[in-house]
């Protein structure tokens, strides 16, 4: 089921798309600023580096930067985009098996832009294990993941109506496609689940993506990580209260965790 996600990431058009992305998302900017005094001493691993959007912003700040991706086409695109350097390396590698790296190798590990969501539930847990193994205790793991609460909102047609008729029209078409591609999933099922696999609009409904409630994500991380902080991807602001977390309907959120 998830093999088809890999096939999306090796297509030439998609590789080109990621190679042209430049800007950091607001939550990434906030985290970059938060750890400002630490970057120069850090060894960083950028998992699912794609076309190197984040490389541009982090590689020159850190002591050593390693970017990996399971799509060799993405790694080739990074090697073409950035000149060779001993402190900036790109390698083919799968987050589920990072045996190419020794225990406690990295101070900061990033898996940005929901890259982890194209994996199954069990593979996701395996990634958390691997990250905690190769991360240094006291170091950081930062990733983003789709928010099931945001999807719950999208699954309700009433939320597609706006004052602008054109916007309403486009919203309703996207709503119909979302419901069509996920015909076996009802709003009630979403309401009562912690996580779901959804074919959403990204890359024309070709990806099957994992959506999770923030509280459930928090619980998943407990075993390997401490001091989990959650950021709105849109505003870049930290979500600090339980009430805010329960009602948050961003389509995805950033998690910054300390490695135990």
Say which residues have a Cβ less than 8 Å from residue 148's Cβ, sequence separation at least 6: 190, 193, 194, 195, 196, 211, 212, 213, 216
Q: Does 119 bind ligand SAM (CB under 6 A)?
A: yes
Q: Does 53 bind ligand SAM (CB under 6 A)?
A: yes
Q: Does 54 bind ligand SAM (CB under 6 A)?
A: yes
Q: Does 124 bind ligand SAM (CB under 6 A)?
A: no
Site string for ligand SAM, 23-52 (x = CB under 6 A): ------------------------xxxx--
Question: Where does 148-201 show beta strands of DSSP type E?
Answer: 195-199
Question: Would strands 106-111 and 208-212 be described as parallel, antiparallel, or unpaired?
Answer: unpaired
The partner residues of 108 in beta bridges, in order of sequence, read: 44, 140
Considering only 93-101, 182-190, 191-199, 245-253, which stretch makes contact with ligand SAM by CB under 6 A?
A: 93-101
- Kind and range of the H or E run holding 18: helix 12-19
Asked if 48 and 116 touch (Cβ cutoff 8 Å), the reply is yes
In whole angstroms, how close is the CB of 207 to ligand SAM at the nearest point?
9
Considering only 64-72, 81-89, 167-175, 184-192, which stretch makes contact with ligand SAM by CB under 6 A?
A: 64-72
In whole angstroms, how close is the CB of 231 to ligand SAM at the nearest point?
15
Span 66-85, contacts to ligand SAM by CB under 6 A: 68-71, 74
Considering only 101-109, 113-121, 212-220, 236-244, which stretch makes contact with ligand SAM by CB under 6 A?
A: 113-121
Q: How many residues bind ligand SAM (CB under 6 A)?
A: 23
Asked if 253 and 222 touch (Cβ cutoff 8 Å), the reply is no
Query: 187-196 long-range CB contacts below 8 Å, 24 or more apart?
Result: 187/152, 187/155, 187/156, 190/148, 190/151, 190/152, 190/155, 191/152, 193/148, 194/148, 195/121, 195/148, 196/148, 196/151
Asked if 106 and 135 touch (Cβ cutoff 8 Å), the reply is yes
Q: Does 115 bind ligand SAM (CB under 6 A)?
A: yes
Q: Which of 21, 61, 125, 251 binds ligand SAM (CB under 6 A)?
A: 21
Q: Does 198 bind ligand SAM (CB under 6 A)?
A: no
Asked if 217 and 246 touch (Cβ cutoff 8 Å), the reply is no
In whole angstroms, how close is the CB of 149 to ligand SAM at the nearest point?
20
Q: Does 236 bind ligand SAM (CB under 6 A)?
A: no
State which residue, 143 or 160, has the beta carbon closest to ligand SAM: 143
CB atoms within 10 A of CB 234: 13
| Binding-site ranges for ligand SAM (CB under 6 A) | 9, 18, 21, 47-50, 53-54, 68-71, 74, 94-96, 112-115, 118-119
């Amino acid at each position: 089921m998830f093999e088809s996600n890999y096939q999306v990431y090796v297509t030439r058009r998609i590789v080109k798309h990621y190679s042209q992305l430049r800007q950091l998302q607001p939550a990434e900017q906030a985290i970059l600023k938060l750890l400002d005094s630490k970057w120069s001493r850090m060894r960083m691993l950028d998992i699912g580096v794609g076309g190197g959007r984040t490389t541009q912003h982090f590689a020159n700040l850190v002591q050593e930067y390693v970017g990996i991706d399971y799509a060799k086409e993405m790694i080739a695109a990074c090697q073409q985009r950035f000149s060779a350097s001993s402190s900036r390396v790109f390698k083919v590698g799968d987050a589920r098996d990072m045996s190419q790296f020794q225990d406690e190798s990295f101070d900061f590990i990033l898996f940005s832009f929901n890259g982890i969501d194209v994996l199954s539930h069990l593979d996701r847990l395996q990634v958390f294990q691997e990250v905690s193994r190769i991360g240094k205790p006291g170091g950081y793991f930062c990733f983003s993941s789709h928010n099931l609460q945001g999807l719950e909102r999208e699954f309700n047609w009433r939320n597609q109506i706006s004052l602008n008729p054109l916007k309403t029209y486009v919203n309703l078409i996207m709503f119909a496609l979302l419901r069509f591609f996920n015909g076996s999933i009802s709003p009630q099922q979403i309401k009562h689940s912690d996580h779901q696999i959804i074919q959403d609009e990204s890359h024309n409904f070709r990806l099957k993506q994992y959506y999770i409630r923030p509280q459930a994500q928090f619980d998943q991380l407990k075993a390997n990580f401490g001091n989990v902080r959650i950021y709105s991807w849109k505003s870049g602001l930290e979500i600090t209260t339980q009430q805010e977390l329960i009602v948050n309907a961003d389509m995805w959120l950033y998690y910054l965790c300390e490695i135990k």
